[in-house]
Amino acid sequence: MANLADCVAIVFWRYAGLGTRQLDAVTTQVYTALEFYLLFLVGFGLLRRKTWSLAPLGIAAIVSGLYLPLLSAVTLVSPAAGEKIGRWSVQIGGYRISLETMLDWMFLFVLVLNITLHQIWERRRQAEIEMEIKSAQEVQHILIPEEIPAIPGLFVASVYKPAAEVGGDFFQVIPLGEKGQESGALVVVGDVSGKGLKAAMTVSLIVGTLRTLAEYTRDPAEILLGLNRRLLGRTQDGFATCLVLRINANGGAALANAGHLAPYRDGLELSVPGSLPLGLSSDASYDEVHFRLQESETLMLITDGVLEARDPQGELYGFERIATLMSGRPTVEHVVDATCGFGQEDDITVVSITRTAVSEPRIVISLSPHLAPG
């Protein structure tokens, strides 16, 4: 506005009286002050971001912005010198280019160059991130089982559906029982706080530690204690919930929980003692619940992606809907379809274990081992 008023004042300068001259003086000073304000913003931004790649742009902006204020100052001190500087130009062919125009072109050139270089840098950075995500997906593809081995007396089915490219949910089914021993399985389901690469790397740490611990103990509480010790100081202020189940072919089961959602036994929530999630406290302790799964009974383990599904109005799926859903003894596919149909917000994992006759071992392919949103 000050610049516009200044231009209008110049048009009527030939008819100028005292009031017009005063208006021109005011608008000129405001316009000059605005130039210094812009320079202040550029300088402050450079100092705050401390990005040396923007230094040429800042220098060009300062040089271009200071020209008119300095020219005005020189003109006030020495009108002749100011007029000489204002007339300075370069002849190129049939065109004469003023110093002010050259400074403006210099600023525009540096601006375009800086934007171009920034775009090139961003593309390289994006390519590196995509490569990291692809690597994390490949690692997670190995860690999340696609095929569950035959376990006599047990029928295990699963669905794993991450909300992003890589997820924070995890589950493992480890067959137990050597020659001369009763068959069974160690089933572990959990959820790492956060999403993306950070969560995926924590999942890798948990699964690796779990596989090692399973070589030495089959006690669910001992496994949780070992996982907790391993995660302390390694989750970057995060944590992981986890549920460990040991179940034999005869239905005998032991379960320990570290802040995870309770499983559902034939549609009813199983009462399990609560405890701190993994990675929060070295003093955490974990209790076991012992029970027997009868033939044809199903135990269903879920992660909080089911609970925290959210519809377009922002309403959570919640415990009541889960209870109603589980009362119908759904399949793992049904649980995931109902949740995603409501509105998936987080990674979803559902694992079901059904006790069958010992003579009916079955192999089940994980129904949806997707490593990208479906």
pLDDT digits (tens, 9 = 90+) for 160-210: 888 766 667 889 999 887 644 568 899 999 999 877 677 778 888 898 899
CB 246 within 8 A of CB 184: yes
pLDDT digits (tens, 9 = 90+) for 87-146: 666 767 666 677 677 777 777 777 777 778 778 888 888 877 677 666 666 666 656 666
Confirm whether pTM is higher than 0.85.
no
Domain ranges of the chain: 2-134, 144-365
DSSP state at residue 251: S
Architecture of domain 144-365 in CATH? 4-Layer Sandwich (3.60)
pLDDT at 5 over 60: no
Bigger pLDDT: 82 vs 347: 347
pLDDT at 298 over 90: yes
Q: Which two tokens stand for residue 209?
A: 């530690």
Q: What is the pLDDT of residue 334?
A: 95
Quickly list H helices, 12-98.
Answer: 18-49, 55-77, 79-87
Chain centre distance of CA 365: 29
CA pair distance 362, 354, nearest whole angstrom? 11
pLDDT digits (tens, 9 = 90+) for 70-80: 666 667 667 77
